[in-house]
Amino acid sequence: MGFWPGTCWPPLVIMRAMPDRWKPNVTVAAIIERDGRFLLVEEDTADGVRYNTPAGHLDPAESPIAACVREVDEETAHDFVPTALVGIYLNRFVRTRTGSDITYLRFAFTGELGDFRPGQPLDDGILRTVWMTLDELKACAAQHRSPLVMQSIEDYLAGRRYPLELIHTDPSVMQAPQPH
Protein backbone atom coordinates (compact mmCIF):
# COMPACT_ATOMS: atom_id res chain seq x y z
CA MET A 1 0.00 0.00 0.00
CA GLY A 2 1.18 3.47 -0.78
CA PHE A 3 1.26 6.51 1.42
CA TRP A 4 1.63 10.23 1.03
CA PRO A 5 5.14 11.58 1.57
CA GLY A 6 5.55 13.01 5.03
CA THR A 7 2.80 10.86 6.56
CA CYS A 8 2.89 7.64 8.50
CA TRP A 9 1.21 4.41 7.59
CA PRO A 10 -1.24 3.09 8.62
CA PRO A 11 -3.63 6.06 8.92
CA LEU A 12 -5.00 4.58 12.17
CA VAL A 13 -1.81 5.76 13.86
CA ILE A 14 -2.58 9.32 12.77
CA MET A 15 -6.18 9.08 13.96
CA ARG A 16 -5.14 7.88 17.42
CA ALA A 17 -2.65 10.73 17.69
CA MET A 18 -5.38 13.28 16.85
CA PRO A 19 -8.34 12.61 19.19
CA ASP A 20 -9.85 16.05 18.47
CA ARG A 21 -9.85 15.49 14.73
CA TRP A 22 -12.51 17.44 12.85
CA LYS A 23 -15.38 15.40 11.42
CA PRO A 24 -18.49 16.55 9.56
CA ASN A 25 -21.97 15.61 10.77
CA VAL A 26 -23.49 13.10 8.33
CA THR A 27 -27.13 13.76 7.47
CA VAL A 28 -29.73 12.53 5.02
CA ALA A 29 -32.67 14.28 3.38
CA ALA A 30 -35.66 13.31 1.25
CA ILE A 31 -36.77 15.36 -1.74
CA ILE A 32 -40.42 14.37 -2.18
CA GLU A 33 -42.48 15.95 -4.95
CA ARG A 34 -46.14 15.33 -5.69
CA ASP A 35 -48.22 17.28 -8.21
CA GLY A 36 -45.75 20.17 -8.35
CA ARG A 37 -45.47 20.52 -4.58
CA PHE A 38 -42.66 19.49 -2.25
CA LEU A 39 -43.06 17.91 1.18
CA LEU A 40 -41.38 19.91 3.92
CA VAL A 41 -41.46 19.95 7.67
CA GLU A 42 -41.92 23.04 9.76
CA GLU A 43 -39.67 22.71 12.79
CA ASP A 44 -38.79 24.61 15.92
CA THR A 45 -35.01 25.15 15.98
CA ALA A 46 -32.48 27.13 18.01
CA ASP A 47 -32.87 29.82 15.34
CA GLY A 48 -36.68 29.84 15.46
CA VAL A 49 -39.26 28.16 13.23
CA ARG A 50 -37.68 26.89 10.00
CA TYR A 51 -38.64 24.84 6.94
CA ASN A 52 -36.64 21.78 5.95
CA THR A 53 -36.97 18.75 3.77
CA PRO A 54 -37.53 15.65 5.91
CA ALA A 55 -33.98 15.12 7.16
CA GLY A 56 -31.79 14.04 10.02
CA HIS A 57 -28.58 12.50 11.25
CA LEU A 58 -27.17 9.11 10.37
CA ASP A 59 -27.43 6.81 13.39
CA PRO A 60 -24.92 4.10 14.39
CA ALA A 61 -25.36 0.77 12.56
CA GLU A 62 -27.41 2.44 9.80
CA SER A 63 -26.91 2.98 6.09
CA PRO A 64 -27.66 6.40 4.55
CA ILE A 65 -30.61 4.88 2.66
CA ALA A 66 -32.08 3.32 5.82
CA ALA A 67 -31.54 6.61 7.68
CA CYS A 68 -33.55 8.47 5.06
CA VAL A 69 -36.44 5.99 5.32
CA ARG A 70 -36.39 6.34 9.12
CA GLU A 71 -36.25 10.14 9.08
CA VAL A 72 -39.20 10.45 6.68
CA ASP A 73 -41.19 8.12 8.95
CA GLU A 74 -40.25 10.00 12.14
CA GLU A 75 -40.81 13.49 10.74
CA THR A 76 -43.83 12.99 8.47
CA ALA A 77 -45.53 9.71 9.55
CA HIS A 78 -45.20 8.44 5.97
CA ASP A 79 -43.52 5.39 4.51
CA PHE A 80 -40.81 6.24 1.99
CA VAL A 81 -38.98 4.16 -0.59
CA PRO A 82 -35.84 5.87 -1.96
CA THR A 83 -35.39 5.37 -5.70
CA ALA A 84 -32.40 7.61 -6.47
CA LEU A 85 -29.69 9.76 -4.96
CA VAL A 86 -30.15 13.44 -5.88
CA GLY A 87 -26.81 14.65 -4.57
CA ILE A 88 -24.13 14.65 -1.91
CA TYR A 89 -23.52 18.04 -0.33
CA LEU A 90 -20.87 19.48 1.97
CA ASN A 91 -22.07 22.61 3.74
CA ARG A 92 -20.81 24.71 6.63
CA PHE A 93 -23.52 26.26 8.75
CA VAL A 94 -23.14 28.86 11.50
CA ARG A 95 -26.23 29.27 13.67
CA THR A 96 -27.26 32.90 13.88
CA ARG A 97 -28.44 32.73 17.48
CA THR A 98 -25.86 30.46 19.11
CA GLY A 99 -22.87 30.99 16.81
CA SER A 100 -22.17 27.24 16.66
CA ASP A 101 -20.15 26.31 13.58
CA ILE A 102 -21.05 22.93 12.08
CA THR A 103 -20.19 21.25 8.79
CA TYR A 104 -22.65 18.76 7.32
CA LEU A 105 -22.13 16.02 4.75
CA ARG A 106 -25.65 15.42 3.41
CA PHE A 107 -27.00 12.65 1.19
CA ALA A 108 -30.24 13.76 -0.51
CA PHE A 109 -32.57 11.12 -1.93
CA THR A 110 -35.79 11.11 -3.88
CA GLY A 111 -38.33 8.34 -4.02
CA GLU A 112 -41.90 7.20 -3.57
CA LEU A 113 -43.99 8.43 -0.68
CA GLY A 114 -46.06 5.63 0.80
CA ASP A 115 -48.79 5.21 3.36
CA PHE A 116 -49.59 7.92 5.90
CA ARG A 117 -50.20 6.93 9.52
CA PRO A 118 -52.59 9.50 11.01
CA GLY A 119 -52.15 9.91 14.72
CA GLN A 120 -48.47 8.90 14.71
CA PRO A 121 -46.58 11.51 16.74
CA LEU A 122 -43.92 13.42 14.82
CA ASP A 123 -40.33 13.87 16.05
CA ASP A 124 -39.68 16.40 18.81
CA GLY A 125 -39.45 19.86 17.30
CA ILE A 126 -41.49 19.04 14.20
CA LEU A 127 -44.55 21.29 14.25
CA ARG A 128 -46.23 20.02 11.08
CA THR A 129 -45.73 18.87 7.51
CA VAL A 130 -46.32 21.30 4.65
CA TRP A 131 -46.64 20.89 0.87
CA MET A 132 -45.11 23.88 -1.00
CA THR A 133 -44.73 24.90 -4.62
CA LEU A 134 -41.37 26.07 -5.91
CA ASP A 135 -42.58 29.68 -5.80
CA GLU A 136 -43.71 29.28 -2.18
CA LEU A 137 -40.33 27.77 -1.31
CA LYS A 138 -38.49 30.67 -2.91
CA ALA A 139 -40.71 33.18 -1.10
CA CYS A 140 -39.78 31.77 2.32
CA ALA A 141 -36.07 31.13 1.64
CA ALA A 142 -35.09 33.19 4.71
CA GLN A 143 -36.92 30.62 6.85
CA HIS A 144 -35.17 27.57 5.35
CA ARG A 145 -33.16 25.48 7.81
CA SER A 146 -30.15 25.77 5.51
CA PRO A 147 -29.28 26.66 1.90
CA LEU A 148 -29.29 22.91 1.19
CA VAL A 149 -33.11 22.92 1.16
CA MET A 150 -33.23 24.99 -2.03
CA GLN A 151 -30.04 23.53 -3.52
CA SER A 152 -31.25 19.93 -3.31
CA ILE A 153 -34.71 20.82 -4.68
CA GLU A 154 -33.12 22.70 -7.59
CA ASP A 155 -30.89 19.69 -8.28
CA TYR A 156 -33.99 17.47 -8.22
CA LEU A 157 -35.77 19.78 -10.67
CA ALA A 158 -32.67 19.74 -12.92
CA GLY A 159 -33.15 15.98 -13.20
CA ARG A 160 -30.15 14.93 -11.14
CA ARG A 161 -30.63 11.28 -10.25
CA TYR A 162 -27.92 8.79 -9.40
CA PRO A 163 -28.36 5.07 -8.75
CA LEU A 164 -28.64 3.99 -5.12
CA GLU A 165 -25.91 1.43 -5.84
CA LEU A 166 -23.50 4.36 -5.87
CA ILE A 167 -23.61 4.19 -2.06
CA HIS A 168 -21.99 1.08 -0.63
CA THR A 169 -22.48 0.35 3.05
CA ASP A 170 -20.11 -2.34 4.27
CA PRO A 171 -21.80 -5.01 6.45
CA SER A 172 -19.41 -4.14 9.29
CA VAL A 173 -21.27 -0.82 9.66
CA MET A 174 -24.45 -2.69 10.56
CA GLN A 175 -22.92 -4.05 13.77
CA ALA A 176 -23.54 -2.17 16.99
CA PRO A 177 -20.61 0.08 17.94
CA GLN A 178 -18.23 -1.41 20.48
CA PRO A 179 -17.80 0.39 23.82
CA HIS A 180 -14.42 2.04 24.35
Which residues are paired to 50 by β-bridges? 43
Q: Which pLDDT score is estimated for 18?
A: 53
CA–CA separation, 39 vs 113, rounded Å? 10
Q: Are the C-beta atoms of residues 63 and 99 closer than 8 Å to each other?
A: no
> Among candidates 153, 155, 125, 165, which has minimal Cα distance to 32?
153
pLDDT in tens, the chain (180 residues): 444 445 444 554 444 555 678 899 999 999 999 999 999 999 999 889 999 999 999 999 999 999 999 999 999 999 999 999 999 999 998 877 777 888 999 999 999 999 999 999 999 999 999 999 999 999 999 999 999 999 999 999 999 999 999 999 999 988 877 776
Does residue 10 lie within any of the structural domains? no
In a domain, 154, yes or no: yes
What CATH number is given to the structural domain containing 92? 3.90.79.10
In a domain, 179, yes or no: no
Angstrom distance (rounded) from CA 140 to CA 83: 28
**Confidence at residue 93, expressed as pLDDT on a 0 to 100 scale:** 83
Number of domains making up the chain:
1
- The residue range of the domain holding 108 is 22-162
Residue 78, SS3 per DSSP: strand
35 within some domain: yes
Residue 14 domain flag? no
Q: Is residue 17 part of a domain?
A: no
Q: Is residue 131 part of a domain?
A: yes
At residue 97, the pLDDT reads 74
120: in domain: yes
